[in-house]
Amino acid sequence: MAIITIIIIIMVLNKIAEVIVNTAHCKVEDVTPGAELIALGVDSLKAITVLFELEEAFDIEIPNEVISSIVTVNDIIERIDDTRH
Which domains does the chain show, CATH number per domain?
3-83 (1.10.1200.10)
Under a CB-based contact definition with an 8 Å cutoff, are residues 67 and 51 in contact? Answer: yes
pLDDT digits (tens, 9 = 90+) for 13-60: 999 999 999 999 999 999 999 999 999 999 999 999 999 999 999 999
For residue 66, CA distances in Å to 5, 11, 13, 19, 61 come to 24, 23, 19, 19, 11
Q: What is the pTM of this model?
A: 0.91
Q: Are 42 and 24 in contact (CB under 8 A)?
A: yes
Eight-class DSSP state of 36: B
